[in-house]
Amino acid sequence: MTTSHYIAGRWVEGQGTDCISVNDPALGLPFAELMAASVAQVDQAVAAARDALPTWKALTASTRAAFLRGFAEQLGQRREALIALQMRNNGKPRHEAEIDLDDAIATFAYYAELAEQLPEKNREVPLAAPGFTARTRLEPVGVVGLIVPWNFPLVTSAWKLAPALAAGCTVVLKPSEVTPLIEQAYGQIADTLGLPAGVLNIVNGKAETGAALSSHNGLDKLSFTGSNNVGSQVMRSASAQCRPVTLELGGKSAIVVFDDCDVDQAVEWIVAGITWNAGQMCSATSRLLVQDGIADALLPRLQQALEKLRVGNPLSEDVDMGPLTSQAQWLKVAGYFATAREEGLQCLAGGKALDREGWFVSPTLYVDVPVDSRLWSEEIFGPVLCARRFSTEAQAIAEANDSRFGLVATVCSADLERAERVADALEVGHVWINSVQAVFVETSWGGTKGSGIGRELGPWGLSGYLSVKHVTRCLG
């Protein structure tokens, strides 16, 4: 795969020095290679986006909306191929890959609707002072760089790409080097739809490519999803030019289970929150706070549920959980298993890498984990759940909030008044009550504290790519 970069409406060969190996994590073997983009090609992509900006933003909102609907339709037409690629490159079970694709389709369709509503938001502003009129005008922020992660590549890119295009921005998209193939579908769709050249550019590469994009002086905004370590580097690059950023970073989220909750239902919500995508989610509810009155009944049931999960190759088996997506992540999670043994944590389920080909680990449950344990406080990004007991509502809130992250949380209780009260007290960006982590395009996504800056999805996602201009006129 040599023509792996989409710049100014053309597929071009990578001219960088890095060779990217694309792996099947269920086998631990590569199945494709591509050459990274060079720094010069990043320059070309940004220049193409800059050249395309005046024409793209001048199009009517309804015209841009038609292109977005075209992306949604074309994703649907490529359904089986994209699902298979997600399963092979990410290790996602089929049902997860299907939901990811449906999410991406819904995102483009939703922002097509919001794009059509943009002209209505340019309106007169009433003034208290006589003799003046004022109006507000929403304009695209300009050329934006989009850097997306490997755990939800098709989805996260849609969350950024759709609102950026709806706003009238032009973009340079940099996929993860772990999963660089699936975003190429967006370039293929752009060709099919006749999207103006330069509106969408895709450059693949490793750290050098990402650094070249995030520090590029031709960008007007940068949106990044990934680790806190890289996010801080992105923010430093943006600060040199006072460039706005959206950062969606890590999490160490809590799921709080009160003793009036149905045990079987609670187990379902807990398992989904830690094993979906093999726990490789910034939103994984990896800290379980369970009330004393239900703990003795719930923890053994939870142990059994985790041990019954079918773990295997999604391309050849009917599985509940696939492998970790990369060898680096497999080694990281294995390192936390070693730390747990060193700390003497009590393991009820899992706690080991599986002895088979590929990058598999067992769904894991540690109980009575002290708050000073590394496993309690650090983001592991794997199917590793740490549990603690609590007595009172106040204690549960305090321990849930005692984290440098603040992305999401889940509250499980039959007392809905209490559940709503606890949800309001949690210092996070999104709370589920008595639910799996259902994410809807109409709601916001993002966190507090170290979990990032800004919001994606909903109207908030669109506003992140819009600049507000006011025009004031003297009537005298």
Kindly give, in sequence order, each residue whose CB lies less than 8 Å from that of residue 249, ignoring residues fewer than 6 positions away.
Answer: 225, 226, 227, 228, 231, 282, 447, 450, 451, 452
pLDDT at residue 141, as a whole number: 98
| 199, pLDDT greater than 60 | yes
- Lowest-pLDDT choice from 64-73, 226-235, 321-330: 226-235
pLDDT at residue 2, as a whole number: 52
Average pLDDT, the chain: 96
pLDDT at residue 59, as a whole number: 97
CB neighbours (10 Å) of residue 75? Answer: 23
pLDDT at residue 42, as a whole number: 98
Which residues belong to CATH 3.40.605.10 in the chain?
5-249+451-474
Q: Which of 169, 282, 386, 412 is catalytic?
A: 282
Do 203 and 191 form a contact (C-beta atoms < 8 A)? no
Do 259 and 434 form a contact (C-beta atoms < 8 A)? no
| 209, pLDDT greater than 90 | yes
Do 162 and 110 form a contact (C-beta atoms < 8 A)? yes
How far is 366 from 347, CA to CA, in rounded Å? 4
**Percent of the chain with pLDDT strictly greater than 70:** 99
> Is residue 122 very low, low, confident or very high in pLDDT (cuts 50, 70, 90)?
confident
Phi, psi of 431 (to 5 degrees): -130, 135
pLDDT at residue 121, as a whole number: 87
Q: Which of 248, 386, 412, 456 is catalytic?
A: 248
CB neighbours (10 Å) of residue 65? Answer: 23
Q: Is 169 helix (H, G, I), strand (E, B) or coil?
A: coil
> Is residue 30 very low, low, confident or very high in pLDDT (cuts 50, 70, 90)?
very high
φ/ψ bin of 351: left (φ > 0), alpha (ψ from -120 to 50), beta (otherwise): left
Do 82 and 102 form a contact (C-beta atoms < 8 A)? no
Do 132 and 475 form a contact (C-beta atoms < 8 A)? yes
pLDDT at residue 124, as a whole number: 92
Residue type, 51: D
Do 7 and 48 form a contact (C-beta atoms < 8 A)? yes
How far is 319 from 383, CA to CA, in rounded Å? 15
| 5, pLDDT greater than 70 | yes
pLDDT at residue 330, as a whole number: 98
What CATH class does 5-249+451-474 carry? alpha beta
CA-based Rg of the chain, rounded to a whole angstrom?
23
Does the active-site annotation cover 347?
no
pLDDT at residue 197, as a whole number: 98
CB neighbours (10 Å) of residue 114? Answer: 23
pLDDT at residue 341, as a whole number: 98
pLDDT at residue 317, as a whole number: 85
Find the mean pLDDT for residues 71-83. 97
CB neighbours (10 Å) of residue 363? Answer: 25
| 257, pLDDT greater than 60 | yes
pLDDT at residue 476, as a whole number: 81
Find the mean pLDDT for residues 393-408. 98
How far is 288 from 140, CA to CA, in rounded Å? 42
pLDDT digits 0-9 by tens, 415-456? 999 999 999 999 999 999 999 999 999 999 999 999 999 999
CB neighbours (10 Å) of residue 123? Answer: 11
Residues for the chain: how many in total?
476
Do 185 and 192 form a contact (C-beta atoms < 8 A)? no
| 271, pLDDT greater than 60 | yes
How far is 441 from 72, CA to CA, in rounded Å? 14
How far is 183 from 321, CA to CA, in rounded Å? 23
Do 51 and 201 form a contact (C-beta atoms < 8 A)? no
Among residues 474, 455, 473, the alpha carbon closest in space to that of 136 is found at 473
Do 334 and 101 form a contact (C-beta atoms < 8 A)? no
Strand partners, 152: none
Which residues belong to CATH 3.40.309.10 in the chain?
254-440
CA distances to 262, 264, 276, 285 from 271, rounded to whole Å, are 14, 11, 8, 9
Do 361 and 353 form a contact (C-beta atoms < 8 A)? yes
| 3, pLDDT greater than 80 | no
- Lowest-pLDDT choice from 121-135, 137-151, 289-303: 121-135
Higher pLDDT, 1 or 189: 189
CB neighbours (10 Å) of residue 191? Answer: 14
| 172, pLDDT greater than 70 | yes
Residue the block writes with tokens 């999490």: 251
pLDDT at residue 460, as a whole number: 97
Phi, psi of 271 (to 5 degrees): -60, -45
Find the mean pLDDT for residues 249-254. 97
CATH superfamily placement of domain 254-440: Aldehyde Dehydrogenase; Chain A, domain 2 (3.40.309.10)
Does the active-site annotation cover 420?
no
How far is 241 from 217, CA to CA, in rounded Å? 7
- Lowest-pLDDT choice from 6-15, 118-127, 159-168, 357-366: 118-127
pLDDT at residue 241, as a whole number: 87
How far is 207 from 187, CA to CA, in rounded Å? 22
Find the mean pLDDT for residues 307-320. 95
Kindly give, in sequence order, each residue whose CB lies less than 8 Å from that of residue 393, ignoring residues fewer than 6 positions away.
Answer: 258, 418, 421, 422
Residue 6, token pair as written in the block? 């989409």
